[in-house]
Amino acid sequence: MATFRTVKGFRDFFPEDCALRNYIFDTWRQVARRYGFVEYEAPLVETTDLYRKKSGDEITSQLFCFEDKAGREISLRPEVTPSLARMATTRQRDYKKPMKWFQIGSCFRYEEPQEGRSREFIQFNADILGDASSGTDAELVALAVDVMLAFGIKAEDFVIRLSNRQIWTQYLTEKAVPEEHATTFLSIIDKIERAKPEDTAEKLSNIGLSLEDVRAFMTAADENHPIFATLRADLEARGLWQYVRIDASIVRGLAYYTGTVFEVFDLKHGLRAVAGGGRYDKLCALMSDGSVDMPSAGFAMGDVVLGILLSKTPGAQFGITDYLNSQMGVDAYVVVADEAQRAPALAAVQALRAAGVRVDFAMTAQKVGKQFQAAENVKARFALVFGAEYPQVQMKNLVSREQTMVAAEDLASTVVQAVKQPLVGKLIA
């Protein structure tokens, strides 16, 4: 039994886990680049005040915080948006608007871990800064949809639940509810599907509202509500409206959202939200004490729930398998059949690697059978046998099992050509 283990809520990434993680990263990055986003990164730690200033109680109660050796209050980042707002407000004049930025990195929240929830998780963040239009919101929803599709997660597997906080602020204005109750009210709406109706009714009556009236308003706030009109037209034109379901109970816990809000949910497994985000028009102004007013919107997708969803979605397996095959294998395994030929074999290993071929070999003397087994284990496509016949080298296709002799001087160019050929599937006897 190991004496040491990972700290509660933290994960190891063994090679197979790391390969899956890299597949997720590559897919995120590829789709974001397809949308014209550029990548940035922020520090893993910030002053605790940065999070106190904006996020609201939900997040600050989960901060992974500590004092550094000089007594400064520091927190591991629970999310990246505050750092982004800090960075963007500091140097926004250096960048043309709108700024389409994305980021991939770890975040930390001190909460009770369970399935889909760990204390360190990796987020993909995509944000568009300096554009208040609903076209921006549509671009972000479209990106979220395309990311899901890129993973092989299809329309029957997920949905974007979308709303707009303004329908509720308008509602409160109509009902003459004092503004200081707005946060309380949104918190009630957030829980309305989970809490007991009588509790909800009581909380609403405390701020002068009735559950029946709120319920009726929610039902009426469907996809025909005028507040969604331009966003809907945009997404319909893209053919993506089918992925969106208007749901007025989506308000999101973070304090800074001001307009469109949405979350990505799976439809078949009852998992937690895969992604979430929305419009935060006032955040940059808040973070810069009013000197930079930059309306913005964005969303984040976490690797943990996404990973669970990928493992449970049959259609997502092809992409993973392809990626793992391309990333985990090597092109050629050099077999040293005769130790007298180790020197030229090593020279060939280095020459092949210099030519861009992925090569592995037995670093100590091994029986030929062992070396072929090792070639199989590392998923090599070709075996290159250095033996008594050198300077002829035997080249064996480990899939088709065909063998040919190649002159040592032609080996690099021959292998380079061979690995470009499409894979021939293994025949099933």
Partner RNA sequence: GUGGUCGUAGCUCAAUGGUAGAGCCCCAGAUUGUGAUUCUGGUUGUUGCGGGUUCGAAUCCCGUCGAUCACCCCA
The C-alpha angle with vertex 295 and arms to 291 and 297, in degrees rounded to 5, equals 135
Burial of 114 (0-12, 13-18, 19+ CB in 10 A): exposed
Q: Which of 21, 29, 42, 58 binds RNA (CB under 7 A)?
A: 58
Residue 109 within binding range of RNA, rule CB under 7 A: yes
Token pair, residue 293, equals 């007013």
Residue 195 within binding range of RNA, rule CB under 7 A: yes
- Nearer CB in complex with RNA: 73/199: 199
Token pair, residue 99, equals 């700024």
Q: Which of 157, 263, 331, 360 binds RNA (CB under 7 A)?
A: 263
Alpha carbons 383 and 331: distance in angstroms, whole number:
9
Q: Is residue 359 within 8 Å of residue 333, measured between CB atoms?
A: yes
Alpha carbons 90 and 301: distance in angstroms, whole number:
25
Residue 383 within binding range of RNA, rule CB under 7 A: yes
Q: How many residues bind RNA (CB under 7 A)?
A: 63
By residue count, the chain amounts to 429
Residue 330 within binding range of RNA, rule CB under 7 A: no
CB of 93 to RNA, least distance (A): 29
Residue 113 within binding range of RNA, rule CB under 7 A: yes
From 29-37, 85-93, 136-144, 362-370, give the range in contact with RNA by CB under 7 A.
362-370
Q: Is residue 403 within 8 Å of residue 395, measured between CB atoms?
A: yes
Nearest Cα neighbor of 100 from 62, 138, 139, 43 is 139
Q: Which of 70, 363, 388, 428 binds RNA (CB under 7 A)?
A: 388
Q: Which of 13, 155, 370, 407 binds RNA (CB under 7 A)?
A: 370
From 91-99, 107-115, 206-214, 238-246, give the range in contact with RNA by CB under 7 A.
107-115
x/- binding map, residues 212-241, to RNA, per CB under 7 A?
Answer: ------------------------------
Q: Which of 49, 73, 115, 212 binds RNA (CB under 7 A)?
A: 115
Token pair, residue 1, equals 């039994």
Distances from the Cα of 401 to the Cα of 200, 361, 376, 396, 424, angstroms: 69, 19, 12, 6, 11
Q: Which of 19, 60, 116, 351 binds RNA (CB under 7 A)?
A: 116
Which residues 298-327 are close enough to bind RNA by CB under 7 A? 300-302, 304-306
Alpha carbons 108 and 88: distance in angstroms, whole number:
22
Alpha carbons 284 and 131: distance in angstroms, whole number:
12
Alpha carbons 287 and 168: distance in angstroms, whole number:
25
From 143-151, 268-276, 287-295, 319-327, give the range in contact with RNA by CB under 7 A.
268-276
Nearest Cα neighbor of 352 from 414, 270, 400, 395 is 414
Residues contributing to the site for RNA (CB under 7 A): 1-2, 5, 7-9, 58, 79, 109, 111-118, 121, 123, 187, 190-191, 194-195, 252-254, 263-264, 272-277, 300-302, 304-306, 337-338, 367-370, 372-373, 375-376, 383, 385, 387-389, 394, 396-399, 401, 403
